[in-house]
Amino acid sequence: MSNREDRYRTTSWDGRQVQRQQPPSSGGQAPRSQQARPASGSQQGGKKKAKKSRGMNPLLGILLWVVIVGASSAIFAGVGWMLANDLCAFNKMPLEASVEIPEEWFTEKEVAQEDGTVTTESTVDMAKVADLLEEEGFIEYKWFFRLFSVFYKSSGRIKPGTYVLNTEMDYMALVRSMHTTGTAETVDVTIPEGYSVQQIIDLLAEKKVGTVEKLTEVAEDHVFEDYAFIDNENLGSITRLEGYLYPDTYNFYVGGDVTLAFNSMLSNFNTKVYQNEDFTALFDASDYSFQEIITIASLIEKETDGTDREKIASVIYNRLENAGETAYYLQIDASLVYAAGRQITQEDYATLDSPYNLYTHTGLPPTPIGNPGLASIKAALQPAETDYYYYVLGADGTHVFSRTLSEHEKAKAAAAAGN
């Protein structure tokens, strides 16, 4: 009996279980318990789908990664380029100066050697050296110079003394230049008014500022990009600097960087002439170009006796602008001498083939023939108003001016007779 009851209960349980597992009929309604409790699998699937919709778009993530990497690379490349420029002395303004490394910056310590001996080593305070070099404009990043100095062991290489440094020196060259004790030697050089570039080169070589070869090389081929009046396109001739090396007294370093010597003269011209506010309106009002005015000034400088610049300027302009009796020929001996590079002969007037021969070529020479001073430049900008076409050096050392050829021939005869 008990076995039959057990079987009955088991069968009843199985039937109810089957009913619960069967799906509702198409027309029927699910049991209340099934409507109130969704399947656990359905709940999990909904949660996963919602979570996936909140995730980042893979393409957007890749794009963001590329942007971050690109920006970081650009920043590191820019910083690296700036440091490399400072390390290698690229793109720096020409500068030369004397610096002193005093003995007070050094400390001494005893160092035991492998052979048992003890030596004394002197090291410099690199922080002070870096400060000095930055202050003088030779480096831009003190921390980077000090970092370089650690690897190059600069503190033990530099010696006390006075040294001539320039901005063409990289970090290593700066340290090496401060290795030998010595005092920078300088020399005063006066550039006379009217000197040509060749004469200036010879004078600088005589004063040991540099060799003729190095001075000529720089005058011919160095790009002086800071000065708009210099022709940096047509290199190869010293005449491109003609007229722009301002006559003055300079203090140059003996055996220094000759580029900086030229830069000093050009900078002086730039300040006193090209950017001189007193001249700006006069240059702008002239019918002649800046170079033509400087060329006229160079002719005046070579021809004047020191008292008649404005009158000589008037003769030049009269011949340039009126056929008159001279047919636009300036006929100035100084330009022929410049072309010949020597004292001229009577034959040169007709046979010396050069655009600087103003007896056979009309108008102005192609470049200035020397470096004029301020007075001659002023005369070129403000000539006297005359109808003179000729002048000759009289017996008293001053010029006699004439309006016509016949007057000029009489003046020549009188000068030759000593009258």
Instruction: Please state the φ and ψ torsions of residue 252, each to the nearest 5 degrees.
Output: -110, 155
Per-residue pLDDT of the chain (419 residues; tens, 9 = 90+): 444 444 444 444 444 554 554 454 444 444 444 444 444 444 444 444 444 445 567 777 677 766 776 666 667 666 777 888 888 888 788 888 888 898 889 898 877 777 777 777 889 999 999 999 999 999 999 999 999 999 888 898 898 888 888 888 899 889 888 876 555 678 999 999 999 999 999 999 999 999 999 999 999 999 998 999 999 988 999 999 999 999 999 999 888 789 989 999 999 999 999 999 999 999 999 999 999 999 999 999 999 999 999 999 999 999 999 988 899 999 999 999 999 999 999 999 999 999 999 999 999 999 999 999 999 999 999 999 999 999 999 988 899 999 999 999 999 999 988 87
Q: Choose the final residue of a domain: 257, 274, 291.
A: 274
Residues 128 and 161 in one domain: yes
Same domain, 208 and 240: yes
Nearest to 263 by CA among 231, 232, 313, 222: 222
Same domain, 347 and 379: yes
Domain region containing 373? 301-386
* Per-residue pLDDT at 77: 65
Instruction: Return d(Cα 244, Cα 233) in angstroms, integer.
Output: 16
For position 76, what pLDDT does the model report? 64
Is residue 70 situated within a structural domain?
no
Residue with tokens 């050009």: 266
The C-alpha angle with vertex 163 and arms to 161 and 166, in degrees rounded to 5, equals 155
One-letter amino acid of 276 = N
CATH number of the domain that residue 127 is part of: 3.30.1490.480
Chosen domain end from 147, 177, 207: 177
Q: Is residue 378 part of a domain?
A: yes
- Can you tell me the distance from the alpha carbon of 111 to that of 123, in angstroms, rounded to the nearest whole number? 12
Q: Are residues 377 and 400 in the same domain?
A: no
CA atoms within 13 A on the CB side of 5: 2
Rounded Cα distance, 129 and 174, in Å: 11
Integer angstrom CA distances of residue 215 from 133, 226, 396? 27, 19, 39
Inside any domain, residue 362? yes
Q: Are 262 and 244 in contact (CB under 8 A)?
A: no
Structural domain count, the chain:
4
Residues 6+ apart with CB under 8 A from 82: 140, 141
Pair type for strands 249-253 and 186-190: antiparallel
Distances 2 to 5, 7, 14, 377 between C-alpha atoms, Å: 5, 9, 19, 139
Report yes or no: 263 and 241 within 8 Å, Cβ to Cβ. no
**90 and 171 housed in the same domain:** yes
* CA-based nearest residue to 266, from 241, 231, 291, 301: 241
- Neighbour tally for 262: CB within 10 Å: 25
Residue 46 in any domain: the answer is no
